[in-house]
Amino acid sequence: MHSYGVEPLQGIRVIDFTQYLPGPFATQRLVNMGAEVIKLEGLSGDPARQLGAVFKEASLVFEVNNQGKKSMAIDLKRKEGRELALRLISQADVLIESFRPQVMHKLGLSYEDVKQVKPDIIYCSLTGYGQISSMAHLASHDINYIALSGLLSQLRDSEGRPIHPTIQLADLVGGIMSNEAILAALLKKERTGEGSYIDLSLTEAMKSLMTTHCSIQEETGRRCGIPMIDGAIISYHIYETADQRYVSLGALEYKFWRHFCQAVDREDWLDAHLTNADVDNPIYTGMLELFKSRSLREWTQFGREIDCCLTPILEIDEVEWQDDVTGVSLDKDKAKWNHSNFNRKSPPELGEQTEGILSSLLQLNKNEITDLKNKGVVL
């Protein structure tokens, strides 16, 4: 979470048709900056409400990515539901959706449809493969996007096999990039009064992370990016500790390597700074032995005292318990709680704000709202 002082997006209203992770993650970031996000859900709700780990009868995936939003449950397959959605959109600044291509067109809620009621709308379509690519019609998930982008090929085990990530890189990066594009479009609108259409492909978002790798491959034939930072040298490497934990050493610049060598009383290693992390290298085998001679806690303290770019590789439960951003306490009983979700807002119940939105924004009276509920248009 960030502290902006005066929330920069206060007064900005976002209509959110997204589900699962990428879109909700993007709009959660807009909430954090002060935007009002109205989540338009089907009558059965965002499927993420039942996805993955559950805490107190709520999906943590949904809870974490929908804090502080408003939920309106509406049947968009019905004419009355679409008309309500358009009326709501006419009072918004941003619309973001993550359906397959053509779904919003079939619902009568495409960019061209929406422009008729809100000419300066910022409309973001977030999909796996974009709106018009040869794969646009195919189902897909995070693992597919990172596979096609070339990124997954960079994550390999010691035998060269791709490692299955346990974090949704494309979903999260794509969410950030759609958020970035929306913010840029808001700035454009402020300057010109014009709206924008954003076609954001999660696969293309991930490919944009690989531009340096692609350039290096084209010019040199090397497939694994920038030399020296891929674990091939002893000063930029991961090492195992005495207690079967791991630390990351990033002493790429010579001064940091010098600090390290002097602190461990091995100035005879100074000239080995950029030598290979290979068992045939006696300095490397010496490094392996050295790191296995101390515990993770000891190396953590060493890294705080010696300016040599040495940090522990933390487990996820340890990330939550920290003294501050730069210092990690591995003693949970003494560390203070520093988790960003400590003061988090609650996510909305399905349709929790439906009546309020119909009443305050669309100016419907109680009888009209009751009639819509009885017809099954809203929940």
Q: Name the token pair of 2.
A: 């960030």
With CA atoms as reference, report the closest residue to 351 among 75, 21, 99.
Answer: 75
> How many C-alpha atoms does 206 have within 13 Å on its Cβ side?
26
Answer for the pair 68, 345: CB distance below 8 angstroms, yes or no.
yes
Q: What are phi and psi of 205, to 5 degrees?
A: -60, -45
What is the C-alpha separation between 31 and 17, in angstroms, rounded?
A: 15
Q: Determine the distance from the C-alpha atom of residue 356 to the mean position of all C-alpha atoms in its chain, rounded to a whole number.
A: 31
Cα separation values, 5 from 33, 53, 117, 222, 246, Å: 10, 33, 34, 46, 38
* 3-state class (DSSP) for residue 54: strand
246 has which bridge partners?
240
> Can 171 be counted among the known catalytic residues?
yes
Measured distance CA(109)–CA(228) in Å, rounded: 50
Catalytic member of 113, 120, 171, 371: 171
The one-letter amino acid code at 276 reads N
- DSSP label of 347: P
In this structure, are residues 30 and 57 in contact, taking their beta carbons and an 8 Å threshold? Answer: no
Phi, psi of 95 (to 5 degrees): -125, 135
Residue with tokens 């993770």: 296
Q: Which residues are catalytic?
A: 171
